Amino acid sequence: MDATQISSELTKVLYTNDQIQERLTELAAQIDEKYRGKDLLLIGVLNGAVMVMADLSRHLATHLQMDWMAISSYGSGTQSSGVVRILKDLNTDIEGRHVLVVEDIIDTGLTLAYLIQNLNSRKPASLEIMTMFRKPDALSSPVDVAYVGFDLPNEFVVGYGLDYAGRYRNLTDVGTLAPHVYS
Residue of 131, 171, 168, 175 lying closest to 153 (CA atoms)? 175
Residue 107 is among the residues annotated as catalytic for this protein: yes
- Beta-bridge mates of residue 161: none
Residue 70: which H helix or E strand, with range?
strand 64-72
Residue of 53, 139, 54, 143 lying closest to 100 (CA atoms)? 53
Options 107, 144, 151, 173, the catalytic residue: 107
- The one-letter amino acid at 67: D
What order of strands is seen across the sheet that includes strand 40-46? 85-88, 64-72, 40-46, 98-106, 126-134, 147-151
Axis crossing angle, helix 17-35 with helix 49-59, rounded to the nearest 10? 60
Q: Which residues are catalytic?
A: 107
